[in-house]
Amino acid sequence: VKPAENIPVSRRHLNAGFQAYTKKDYITALKHYNTILVKHAKSAEVKSAYLAKAKLYQEMGLIEQAQYNVKLAQEIEQKTK
């Protein structure tokens, strides 16, 4: 396990979001995912944040929001090819 200071802030937000998601604390999870998308928009975690939001929205029954976030993740994948 790497010391926390070597883990990028964006990765820490992703991990915190996943932990909140597993506890069904969706508001906290969304805050962490959105922090990545707003404050760390160039990070490697952006695609994962969109996919995590999609999964969260799907679980909440918000299918349109889920599909939209999948689309955004796919667009990032297209840009990185």
| Average pLDDT along the chain, 81 residues, taken 10 residues at a time | 76 97 97 97 95 97 98 89 69
**Residue 10 half-sphere exposure, CB side, CA atoms within 13 Å?**
15
Distance CA 22, CA 15 (A): 11
Supply 1's token pair.
């396990």
| 8 A C-beta contact, residue 48 and residue 16 | no
pTM, two decimals, is 0.89
**pLDDT score of 42:** 93
**pLDDT score of 29:** 98
| 70 CB-contact burial (10 Å; exposed 0-12 / middle 13-18 / buried 19+) | middle
**pLDDT score of 66:** 98
Distance CA 43, CA 66 (A): 21
